[in-house]
């Protein structure tokens, strides 16, 4: 009797499990991380931000003034500054947006009580008292350690205004603008590398046609001068979403005079941020994934004019644009931020990492209190949004090398429409640490993600997760820590395979510490290594690096480090350094070349760093995975009048960035 009862129970359990298994959707994803083929450098600027004179982004959100009761340092909110420092914001765009094309920077300098007011016609017609101006912005950048990206007024400004702004901020002395800056309390110039030539010049920035705007860009860029070692990086106002005609014309007419072209694409949604059902969840994520297609479309057009990818595609406005929160000024674009926004942020960052050869900066809109913000404030209160947490979790990818992925995932379907359930990215940093970030866009089903990491051995894995019970979970001023990253342990690591139980609607970042066992970067056999490099010295007037075999060697010798040989002519000469570099341990190495004028650096015959051309001191970077032992190194350098400088640095496992020390450099004695 008892046995029969137990048998019936077992049968019942089996039937129950069978029904359960057939109703639950066991989604599966397979990822192969290729460690034999490194992708390109993930420019930290991909994590850039945007702050406009709009609503309470600047006033109230960042700047409260010295006399405010809200704790501040020289007028900047302490809580916001601290949160931004933690985020390590690499670059900050300002003052707009549409505001930029009616902003006259000279109204925002000098004693505050003498600064004229203006009406902010784009954003609610509020009175802008100009108490936050150029000094305040550049001081903010210094405080949070961000590079400045100033968007200049082309729509209603003048070329002279633009040229003077660059001179005011970046020139040392000897001109009226530098003297004016000094009078206004700033002795030394700032570093302002990034300058935008207008904003949305097809729209609020002047409703221009592309050919007219492109001609203006040629004019503006002519007067964007370099002072005191500051190298201006010129960013043209780029296309709106799908407008490839704009990209084509600007690249054709002005492609040779710019360094970057901006793309603006917003994930628009007519409802408020937290007011949605599953259809709303799906459609916003589907819209945001269009970014992938857009980058491909514009890159293809850019490739036509610029096959060597000199000009960067800079997505200098992106993010969700929901309806404003009830009871707020519609012109202030204040919106809440939910788990869905976090998925939008992670999915876009995963897309940007795929195209780092072309996409070298992006600026999410906007940093505080506007659109898809990192931070929301309400008088003295402040909270970090789910989007902030994604940026904070993902900062491990900044300055790392993208690892190409093969990703096969199931579909997440709503009605007749489907999108991939999981999107992901992986990178390796200069300490050889691999990070894999996974985003499950499906709000209902966990996904079993199998990651094949064949070439990674002795791994130790840890993880963090951002997820929530509800699709529209958010952080409010009453519950500011409702959505926050937590430690993640739901994975198994066996035989170089990781199996992750990726929660529904989640973002997981895995950290893998171990050893690389890939074929790349093997050391070479050397018979008789002796200290110092050899160098050949050439006399020639050049504009770019030559083919050295066409030149006659004037003198040659041995040198401790990659420095200028003494004596040298001071002007119009070239040097080729050759020899061996002794790598202390297997790992991932960054090489940097800072020179005035051009340099190229080769490791084992492969061109790693290109810093060619006639220019002021400028540093560029390359990377390689190298095994312990000797590797060939070659550096080519030329000098053409003016400044004269060369410094070649290395950074690697347990090794801070430093000029390649003499102890690492050898030549092979014959």
CA distances (Å), 325 to each of 80, 174, 272, 321, 513, in order?
21, 51, 6, 12, 43
97 part of the interface to ligand AHR, by CB under 6 A: yes
Q: Among residues 196 and 463, whose Cβ is nearest to ligand AHR?
A: 196
Of the candidates 102, 128, 136, 317, the residue annotated as catalytic is: 317
- The residue among 485, 393, 427, 440 whose CA lies nearest residue 47 is 393
**552 in the Ramachandran plot: left (φ > 0), alpha (ψ -120 to 50) or beta?**
beta
Q: Among residues 197 and 422, whose Cβ is nearest to ligand AHR?
A: 197
Q: How many CB atoms lie within 10 A of CB 191?
A: 16
Q: State in angstroms the smallest separation of the CB of 74 from ligand AHR.
A: 27
330-369 binders of ligand AHR (CB under 6 A)? 365-366
Q: State in angstroms the smallest separation of the CB of 52 from ligand AHR.
A: 5
365-424 binders of ligand AHR (CB under 6 A)? 365-366, 371
Q: Among residues 237 and 639, whose Cβ is nearest to ligand AHR?
A: 237
Q: State in angstroms the smallest separation of the CB of 107 from ligand AHR.
A: 19
- The residue among 455, 450, 457, 452 whose CA lies nearest residue 491 is 450
**Region near ligand AHR per CB under 6 A, out of 71-79, 93-101, 219-227, 628-636:** 93-101
What angle in degrees, to the nearest 10, is found between the helix axes of 339-354 and 278-288? Answer: 20
Radius of gyration of the chain (CA): 27
Q: Among residues 29 and 377, whose Cβ is nearest to ligand AHR?
A: 377
Dihedral sign of CA atoms 42, 43, 44, 48 in order: negative
Q: Among residues 100 and 483, whose Cβ is nearest to ligand AHR?
A: 100
Residue pair 359/46 in contact by the 8 Å Cβ criterion: yes
Q: Among residues 365 and 633, whose Cβ is nearest to ligand AHR?
A: 365
Q: Among residues 319 and 386, whose Cβ is nearest to ligand AHR?
A: 319
Q: Among residues 52 and 147, whose Cβ is nearest to ligand AHR?
A: 52
- The residue among 146, 167, 153, 140 whose CA lies nearest residue 80 is 140
Q: State in angstroms the smallest separation of the CB of 208 from ligand AHR.
A: 14
**Region near ligand AHR per CB under 6 A, out of 26-34, 92-100, 515-523, 556-564:** 92-100
Q: Residues 475-485, buried b or exposed e (16+ Cβ, 10 A)?
A: beeeebebbeb
Our CA dihedral for 290, 507, 313, 354, rounded to 10 degrees, sits at: -90
Tokens standing for residue 440: 């499950």
101 part of the interface to ligand AHR, by CB under 6 A: no
In whole angstroms, what is the distance from residue 150 CA to residue 136 CA? 13
Q: State in angstroms the smallest separation of the CB of 200 from ligand AHR.
A: 5
Please provide residue 42's backbone torsions phi and psi, each rounded to the nearest 5 degrees: -85, 100
What angle in degrees, to the nearest 10, is found between the helix axes of 159-170 and 176-183? Answer: 60
Q: Among residues 101 and 136, whose Cβ is nearest to ligand AHR?
A: 101
Of the candidates 102, 147, 200, 636, the residue annotated as catalytic is: 200
**Binds ligand AHR by CB under 6 A, chosen from 42, 84, 98, 466:** 98
Dihedral sign of CA atoms 649, 651, 654, 656 in order: positive
Q: Among residues 366 and 421, whose Cβ is nearest to ligand AHR?
A: 366
Residue pair 586/628 in contact by the 8 Å Cβ criterion: yes
Q: Residues 632-661, buried b or exposed e (16+ Cβ, 10 A)?
A: bbbbbbbbbeeebbbbbbbbbbebeeeebe
DSSP string, 279-346: HHHHHHHHHHTHHHHHHHHHHHHHHHH-TT--SEEEEEEEEEEEEPPTTS-GGG-----BHHHHHHHH
Q: State in angstroms the smallest separation of the CB of 126 from ligand AHR.
A: 14
Q: Residues 67-83, buried b or exposed e (16+ Cβ, 10 A)?
A: eeebebeebbbebbbeb
432 part of the interface to ligand AHR, by CB under 6 A: no
Tokens standing for residue 470: 């509800």
**Binds ligand AHR by CB under 6 A, chosen from 52, 147, 306, 651:** 52
In whole angstroms, what is the distance from residue 615 CA to residue 593 CA? 13
With CB under 6 A, what is the number of residues at the site for ligand AHR?
Answer: 10
In whole angstroms, what is the distance from residue 253 CA to residue 216 CA? 10
Alpha-helix residue ranges (DSSP H) falling in 69-133: 78-87
Q: Among residues 98 and 178, whose Cβ is nearest to ligand AHR?
A: 98
96 part of the interface to ligand AHR, by CB under 6 A: yes
* 200 included as an active-site residue: yes
**Region near ligand AHR per CB under 6 A, out of 94-102, 307-315, 379-387, 554-562:** 94-102
**Region near ligand AHR per CB under 6 A, out of 96-104, 112-120, 378-386, 623-631:** 96-104
**Region near ligand AHR per CB under 6 A, out of 58-66, 95-103, 154-162, 622-630:** 95-103
CA distances (Å), 375 to each of 56, 60, 138, 384, in order?
11, 12, 20, 5
Binding mask 165-204 for ligand AHR (x = CB under 6 A): ----------------------------------xx----
Q: Among residues 317 and 651, whose Cβ is nearest to ligand AHR?
A: 317
237 part of the interface to ligand AHR, by CB under 6 A: no
Tokens standing for residue 133: 């101006």
User: Which residue, judged by CB position, is nearest to ligand AHR in the bound state?
Assistant: 97
62-67: Cβ within 8 A, 24+ apart: 62/132, 62/140, 62/367, 62/368, 63/131, 63/132, 63/136, 63/140, 65/131
* 102 included as an active-site residue: no
Q: State in angstroms the smallest separation of the CB of 50 from ligand AHR.
A: 7
Residues catalogued as catalytic: 200, 317
Where do contacts with ligand AHR occur on this chain (CB under 6 A)? Answer: 52, 96-98, 199-200, 317, 365-366, 371
């Amino acid at each position: 009797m008892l046995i029969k009862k137990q048998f019936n129970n077992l049968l019942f359990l089996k039937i129950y499990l069978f029904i359960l298994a057939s109703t639950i959707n066991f989604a599966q994803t397979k990822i192969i991380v290729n460690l034999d083929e490194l992708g390109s450098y993930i420019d930290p600027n991909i994590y850039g931000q945007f702050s406009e004179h709009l609503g309470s982004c600047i006033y109230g959100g960042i700047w409260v003034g010295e006399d405010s009761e809200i704790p501040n340092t020289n007028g900047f909110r302490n809580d916001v500054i601290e949160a931004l420092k933690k985020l390590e914001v690499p670059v900050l765009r300002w003052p707009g947006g549409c505001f930029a094309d009616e902003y006259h920077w000279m109204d925002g300098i000098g004693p505050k009580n003498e600064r004229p007011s203006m009406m902010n016609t784009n954003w609610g017609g509020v009175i802008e008292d100009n108490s936050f101006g150029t000094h305040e912005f550049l001081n903010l950048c210094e405080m949070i350690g961000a590079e400045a990206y100033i968007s200049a007024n082309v729509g209603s400004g003048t070329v002279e205004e633009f040229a003077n702004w660059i001179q005011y901020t970046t020139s040392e002395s000897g001109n009226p603008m530098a003297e004016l800056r000094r009078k206004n309390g700033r002795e030394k110039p700032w570093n302002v590398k990034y300058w935008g030539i207008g904003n949305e010049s097809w729209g609020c920035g002047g409703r221009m046609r592309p050919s007219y705007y492109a001609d203006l860009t040629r004019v503006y860029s002519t007067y964007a001068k370099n002072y005191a070692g500051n190298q201006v990086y010129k960013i043209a106002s780029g296309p709106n979403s799908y407008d490839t005609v704009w990209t084509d014309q600007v690249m054709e007419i002005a492609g040779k005079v710019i360094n970057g072209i901006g793309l603006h694409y917003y994930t628009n949604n007519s409802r408020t941020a937290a007011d949605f059902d599953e259809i709303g969840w799906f459609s916003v994520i589907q819209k945001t994934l269009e970014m992938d297609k857009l980058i491909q479309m514009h890159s293809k057009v850019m490739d036509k004019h610029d096959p060597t990818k000199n000009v960067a595609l800079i997505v200098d406005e992106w993010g969700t644009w929901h309806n404003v929160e009830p009871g707020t000024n519609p012109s202030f674009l204040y919106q809440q931020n939910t788990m869905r926004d976090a998925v939008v942020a992670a999915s876009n960052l995963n897309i940007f990492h795929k195209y780092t050869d072309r996409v070298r900066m992006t600026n999410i809109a906007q940093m505080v209190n506007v659109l898809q913000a990192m931070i929301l404030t309400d008088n003295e209160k402040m909270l970090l949004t789910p989007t902030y947490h994604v940026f904070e979790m993902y900062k491990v990818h900044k300055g790392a090398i993208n690892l190409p992925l093969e990703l096969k995932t199931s579909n997440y379907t709503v009605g007749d429409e489907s999108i991939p359930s999981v999107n992901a990215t992986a990178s390796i940093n200069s300490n050889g640490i691999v990070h894999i970030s996974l985003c499950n866009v499906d709000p209902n089903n966990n996904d079993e993600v199998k990651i094949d990491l064949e070439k990674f051995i002795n791994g130790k894995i840890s993880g963090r997760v951002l997820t929530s019970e509800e699709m529209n979970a958010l952080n409010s001023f009453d519950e500011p820590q409702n959505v926050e990253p937590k430690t993640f342990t739901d994975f198994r690591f066996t035989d170089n395979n990781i199996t992750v139980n990726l929660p529904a609607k989640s973002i997981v970042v895995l950290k893998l510490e171990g050893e690389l066992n890939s074929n790349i970067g093997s050391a070479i056999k050397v018979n008789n290594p002796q200290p110092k490099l050899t160098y050949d010295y050439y006399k020639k007037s050049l504009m770019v690096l030559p083919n050295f075999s066409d030149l006659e060697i004037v003198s040659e010798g041995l040198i401790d480090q990659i420095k200028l040989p003494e004596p040298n002519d001071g002007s119009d000469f070239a040097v080729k350094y050759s020899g061996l570099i002794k790598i202390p341990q297997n790992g991932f190495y960054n090489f940097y070349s800072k020179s005035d004028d051009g340099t190229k650096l080769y490791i084992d015959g492969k061109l790693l760093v290109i810093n060619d051309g006639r220019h002021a001191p400028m540093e560029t970077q390359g990377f390689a995975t190298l095994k312990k032992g000797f590797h060939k190194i070659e550096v080519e350098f030329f000098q053409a009048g003016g400044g004269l400088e060369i410094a070649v640095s290395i950074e690697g496992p347990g090794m801070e960035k430093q000029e390649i020390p003499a102890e690492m450099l050898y030549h092979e004695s014959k």
